[in-house]
């Protein structure tokens, strides 16, 4: 089975997450605290964090579904 770019799992840093979601840093972290946005993860024990790209894509799809139902 050939993997498409959309199916590849990778770690997205904050600028990519912001660009993909259209949300700002504060909103992302506020939603994370409320349990309404995927949690970030430490990258290789470093001070850097990132998000699972598939979790972010699933969150976006969920948001689009919510908008479509309203």
Instruction: Give the residue extent of every domain in the chain.
Output: 7-69
Which pLDDT score is estimated for 44?
Answer: 81
Element (H, E) at 15: helix 14-21
Element (H, E) at 41: strand 41-42
CATH class of the region 7-69: mainly alpha
The pLDDT tens digits for 28-53 are 999 999 999 999 999 987 789 999 99
The pLDDT of residue 39 = 98
Look up the pTM and report it: 0.81
Q: Give the count of beta carbons closer than 10 Å to the beta carbon of residue 66.
A: 9
Beta-bridge partner residues of 65:
none
């Amino acid at each position: 089975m050939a993997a498409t770019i959309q199916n590849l799992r990778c770690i997205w840093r904050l600028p990519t997450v912001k660009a993909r979601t259209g949300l700002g840093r504060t909103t992302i972290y506020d939603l994370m605290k409320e349990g309404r946005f995927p949690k970030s993860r430490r990258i290789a024990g470093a001070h850097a964090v990132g998000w699972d790209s598939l979790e972010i894509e699933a969150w976006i799809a969920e948001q689009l579904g919510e908008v479509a139902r309203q």
